[in-house]
Structure 1
Amino acid sequence: METKQKERIRRLVELLKKTDRIHLKDAARMLEVSVMTIRRDFSQEDEPLPLALLGGYIVMVNKPAAPTPATNAIAARPHHKDDLPIAILAAGLVNENDLVFFDNGPEMPLVISMIPDEITFTGICYSHQVFMALNAKPNATAMLCGGTYRAKSDAFYAPDNHSLLDALNPRKAFISASGVHEHYGVTWFNIDDLPIKRKAMAHGMRKILLARYALFDEVAPASIAPLSAFDVLVSDRPLPPEYPAHCRNAFVKVITPDSDSEATL
C-alpha cells in the first residue's frame, strides 16, 4: 500500500514533468500539507529520490526529455514562468462535480494539468489547447463552444455569438487578463474574445480572475469588466499598493502564495 509520504513524492514527480521547478511553499499548498512535512519527506526517505531540494525549490533529478509532439499537432502557446503559482492556486479551487469555464489564456492548460486526476468535473472552453488539456484529464468532461476556428488565437468563434454558455451556469469561470488597472479595469489583448469572456462573466456563479503581478497597472485594448465585477483574484505575488484596499472595498477575495486564507470556494 502506498504511504502518504510516497503519494506526496509521486504527485511532486508528476507535477515536475510539467515544469522545471516548483517553490516549496507552492508545493505545500497544492499537497495541502506544511512546508515542514515536505522537508521531512525528503529527509526521511531511505531510497534515492528522483527529486531534490535546491534552496527553496524542488527540482527533478535527471529529468527525462519531453516526448516529441506529433507533426500535425498545434504548438502549445508558452505560458509565463510566473503562471505556475497561479495555476496551482487556481487548480485548488476546482471541486468534485464542478462545472467550470476555462478562458483562452496560455496559462489555462497549465491550470487544468494541476487539477488532481481523481477529481470529476466538467470544463467548458473555446480554445483548442484548453480542450486538449481537458481531454487529457481522466475524470474530466470537455465541452467545446463551437464555431469557426482561428489558428492565430487558437479559438473557435460563432458568428452569431451563440454558445453553450447561453444555457449553462458554470459554478466557476476562470478569466485570463492582459492588464489590470484601477481606472480602466480588467483588459485583454484580443477583441475577438470579448463576447465569450463577457458571456462567461454573465453566467458564471464565481468569477475568478487570473492575473500575474506584472500585469497590474497595464492596459490592453479590449475592456472585459471592472475589477469589482470579479469574486476572486488569483496572483503570483502580493498585490501592488492600492490594489488590496480596492479589492477589499469591492469584496474581491485575493489569493496569492502568501495568503493566509485557504484556497477553496
Structure 2
Amino acid sequence: METKQKERIRRLTELLKKTDRIHLKDAARMLEVSVMTIRRDFSQEDEPLPLALLGGYIVMVNKPAAPATSQPVAAATRRHHRDDMPIAILAAGLVSENDLVFFDNGPEMPLVIDMIPDEITFTGICYSHQVFMALNAKPNATAMLCGGTYRAKSDAFYDPNNPSILDSLNPRKVFISASGVHEHYGVTWFNLDDLPVKRKAMEHGIRKILLARYALFDEVAPASIAPLAQFDVLISDRPLPAEYAIHCRNGSVKAITPDSEGE
C-alpha cells in the first residue's frame, strides 16, 4: 500500500513532468501539508528519489528530454508567462471533487488545468480552444465548450446573439484572467470580444477568482471587466502592493499568494 509520504513524492514527480521546478511553498499548498512535512519526506526517504531540493525549489533529477514528436500540437503551442506557474498551482488547489468550473480565455488557463491533480473529477466550462484541449487531456474532467464562431486571433468561440450554456449553469468557481488591475479603473482586459463571456460567467458564478500577476497592478487595459471588489479571491505570484492589499481587505476580497497562509 502506498504511504502518504510516497503519494506526495509521486504527485510532485507528476507535477515536475510539466515544469522545470516548483517552489517549496507552492508544493506545500498543492499537497495541503506544511513545508516541514515535505522537507521530512526528502530527508527520511531511504531509496534514491527522482527529485531533489535545491534552495527553496524542488527539481527533477536527470529529467529526460521529451521527444520532439511526443508532445501534442495543442500543448506545444501554449504560451504562458514565467510568473504564471505559482498562480496556476494556487488556482488548481482551489478545484475540488465534482466542481463545476469556468475557465476563461487567459493564456495561463491551460497551465491551471494541467496543475489540477488527475484523480480529481470535475467539469470545466470554456470557450477557448486551447482550454478545451487542456480539459480533454485530464482523465477525470468533463469539458463543456460554449459554441459559436471560431476566431483564430483569439483562439476562441463567440456567439453573443444566441443563448449560451452559461445561461442555465451556476459554476461553483469562475477563473478570470486580467490584463490590468487598477484601484480606480478596476480589473481590465485587452480583448473586447471576451467581455460578454467573462461578465456572464461572473454573473452566474458562485465564487469569482481573479488571476493577476504582480506586474499587472496599476496597469489599465482597454476593456473593463468589473471592479476589484466584485471578486471573492485574488491570486497573484507575489504579495500584493500595500494599497491593493488594503483595497482587498476593505472589499472582502481574499488575497492568495505563495507567501500567504493556506485556505
Q: What band does the TM-score fall into relative to the shorter chain?
A: over 0.9
Please say which of residues 96-105 and 160-169 is displaced more in the overlay: 160-169
State the alpha-carbon separation in 2 of the partners of residues 161 and 190 from structure 1.
20
Give runs of aligned pairs for residues 118-129 of structure 1, distance below 5 A: 118-129=119-130
State the alpha-carbon separation in 2 of the partners of residues 109 and 132 from structure 1.
8
Q: What secondary structure, in the 3-state scheme, does the structure 2 residue paired with 1:68 have?
A: coil
Q: What secondary structure, in the 3-state scheme, does the structure 1 residue paired with 2:187 have?
A: strand
State the alpha-carbon separation in 2 of the partners of residues 7 and 88 from structure 1.
18
Q: Which residue of 1 aligns with 2:21?
A: 21
Q: What secondary structure, in the 3-state scheme, does the structure 1 residue paired with 2:73 have?
A: coil
TM-score by length of 1: 0.94
Alpha-carbon contact 1:161-1:195 (below 8 Å) kept: no
State the alpha-carbon separation in 1 of the partners of residues 68 and 170 from structure 2.
38
Alpha-carbon contact 1:53-1:59 (below 8 Å) kept: yes
Q: Which residue of 1 aligns with 2:60?
A: 60
State the alpha-carbon separation in 1 of the partners of residues 71 and 149 from structure 2.
23
Q: What secondary structure, in the 3-state scheme, does the structure 2 residue paired with 1:104 have?
A: coil
Q: Which residue of 1 aligns with 2:143?
A: 142
Q: Which residue of 2 aligns with 1:206?
A: 207
Please say which of residues 106-115 and 61-70 is displaced more in the overlay: 61-70
Task: Flag structure 2 segments of 5+ consecutive residues without an equivalent.
Answer: none
Q: Report the CA distance shift for 1:51/1:70 in structure 2 as closer, same or farther (over 3 A).
A: closer
Cα deviation digits, residues 184-203 of structure 1 (max 9, x gap)? 10001111111101111111
Alpha-carbon contact 2:189-2:222 (below 8 Å) kept: yes
The alpha-carbon deviation at position 113 of structure 1 amounts to 1.3
State the alpha-carbon separation in 1 of the partners of residues 71 and 6 from structure 2.
36
Amino acid at match of 1:248: R
Q: What secondary structure, in the 3-state scheme, does the structure 2 residue paired with 1:122 have?
A: strand
State the alpha-carbon separation in 2 of the partners of residues 145 and 99 from structure 1.
14
Q: Which residue of 2 aligns with 1:256?
A: 257
Q: Which residue of 2 aligns with 1:243?
A: 244
Give runs of aligned pairs for residues 89-168 of structure 1, distance below 5 A: 89-168=90-169
The alpha-carbon deviation at position 84 of structure 1 amounts to 1.1
Q: Report the CA distance shift for 1:138/1:72 in structure 2 as closer, same or farther (over 3 A).
A: closer
Q: Report the CA distance shift for 1:132/1:69 in structure 2 as closer, same or farther (over 3 A).
A: farther
Cα deviation digits, residues 193-222 of structure 1 (max 9, x gap)? 111011111111111101111110011111
Please say which of residues 68-77 and 153-162 is displaced more in the overlay: 68-77
Q: Report the CA distance shift for 1:130/1:238 in structure 2 as closer, same or farther (over 3 A).
A: same
Q: What secondary structure, in the 3-state scheme, does the structure 2 residue paired with 1:116 have?
A: coil
Q: What secondary structure, in the 3-state scheme, does the structure 2 residue paired with 1:119 have?
A: coil
Amino acid at match of 2:207: R
The alpha-carbon deviation at position 132 of structure 1 amounts to 1.0
State the alpha-carbon separation in 2 of the partners of residues 193 and 85 from structure 1.
25
State the alpha-carbon separation in 2 of the partners of residues 163 and 69 from structure 1.
37
Amino acid at match of 2:147: G
Amino acid at match of 1:167: S
Q: What RMSD over aligned residues (CA atoms) do the two structures have, in Å?
A: 1.6
Q: Which residue of 2 aligns with 1:171?
A: 172
Alpha-carbon contact 1:175-1:209 (below 8 Å) kept: yes
Q: Which residue of 1 aligns with 2:188?
A: 187
State the alpha-carbon separation in 1 of the partners of residues 192 and 67 from structure 2.
35
Amino acid at match of 1:91: A
Task: Flag structure 1 segments of 5+ consecutive residues without an equivalent.
Answer: none
Q: Which runs of 4+ in 1 moved over 4 A?
A: 69-72
Q: Percent identity?
A: 86
Q: Which residue of 1 aligns with 2:82?
A: 81
State the alpha-carbon separation in 1 of the partners of residues 67 and 11 from structure 2.
20
Q: Which residue of 2 aligns with 1:43?
A: 43
In the alignment of these two chains, the number of paired residues is 262
Q: Report the CA distance shift for 1:71/1:108 in structure 2 as closer, same or farther (over 3 A).
A: closer
The alpha-carbon deviation at position 68 of structure 1 amounts to 3.1
State the alpha-carbon separation in 2 of the partners of residues 179 and 67 from structure 1.
37
Q: Report the CA distance shift for 1:11/1:123 in structure 2 as closer, same or farther (over 3 A).
A: same
State the alpha-carbon separation in 1 of the partners of residues 70 and 64 from structure 2.
18
Alpha-carbon contact 2:207-2:232 (below 8 Å) kept: yes
Cα deviation digits, residues 141-165 of structure 1 (max 9, x gap)? 1000001111221111115153210
Q: What secondary structure, in the 3-state scheme, does the structure 1 residue paired with 2:174 have?
A: strand
Amino acid at match of 1:48: P
